[in-house]
Amino acid sequence: MPGNRCRASPERLFRLFMLQTSDIAAIVLTAKLAALSTVILLLIGTPLAWWLARSPSRLKSIAGALVTLPLVLPPAVIGFYLLVLMGPHGPLGRLTQALGLGLLPFTFSGLVLASVIYSMPFVVQPLQQAFAALGEGPLEAAATLRAAPLDTFFSVVLPLARPGMMTAAVLGFAHTIGEFGVVLMIGGNIPGRTEVLSMAIYNHVEALEYANAHWLAGGMLCFSFLILFVLYQRGWNRPA
């Protein structure tokens, strides 16, 4: 019996090492996905939020509803329609194939696109609130100084809306890290390619490896609490 234990011990250590290596790969991939998605969200969401906050157009109600849809729709529904849209018979899938890019499902690029869509309201809404809270005073003051609209936006609007920008960036990043349903539908569960942190936890639970799941889930719990604590401590949850 002691000899069997000695022979089994290296095998168990090897398996544990492999699991830890897989977990590290999932963490790195998740951080990469969240960082890239957040940058894209800020680039797209900032002008969109400005338009939603300042435009008198009636179309902004439709646009606002579309942006907010991920808050009320189940992730599986969003993932399903994105899968159809990016599939071989979908309009986006046909476009990417015509451009020689192949299909996006079950690729990192597909995960980025799905994450941007799914996390959009968490970035646009704080920015929209921050822009709406500015009022007309700063814009009128910049106009009296004959500042161009673009110069006013970068020199006046963005510095004043900095708390909202920080909130949008942090929430967008954190929300992308916690995705499950959408990434499962679009990315599947390919180790090293589309296996993100939430999928790694699911895999451990499915394999009854609760110790590994506890480490990853506990880390996400602490990370989420820290993010919210910093937001409330510094007042970044307030738009202005």
Could you tell me the CATH number of the domain that includes residue 227?
1.10.3720.10
* 197: Cα within 13 Å, side-chain hemisphere: 24
- Is there a domain that residue 7 lies in? no
CA angle 27, 31, 33 (to 5 degrees): 115
- Is there a domain that residue 240 lies in? no
Q: Could you give the number of structural domains in the chain?
A: 1
Give the structural domain span for 92.
17-234
State the sign of the Cα–Cα–Cα–Cα dihedral 57, 61, 66, 67: positive
- Is there a domain that residue 76 lies in? yes
User: How far apart are alpha carbons 162 and 239 in whole angstroms?
Assistant: 9
Q: What is the pTM of this model?
A: 0.82
Give how far Cα 9 sits from Cα of 153, 194, 212, Å: 63, 31, 18
User: How far apart are alpha carbons 127 and 144 in whole angstroms?
Assistant: 25
**What is the chain's length?**
240
Per residue of the chain (240 residues), what is the pLDDT tens digit? 444 444 445 555 455 555 567 788 888 999 999 999 999 999 999 999 999 988 888 888 899 999 999 989 888 899 899 999 998 888 999 999 988 888 889 999 999 999 999 999 999 999 999 898 887 777 777 777 777 778 778 888 888 888 889 889 989 998 898 888 888 888 887 887 888 888 888 888 888 888 888 888 888 889 888 888 887 776 654 544
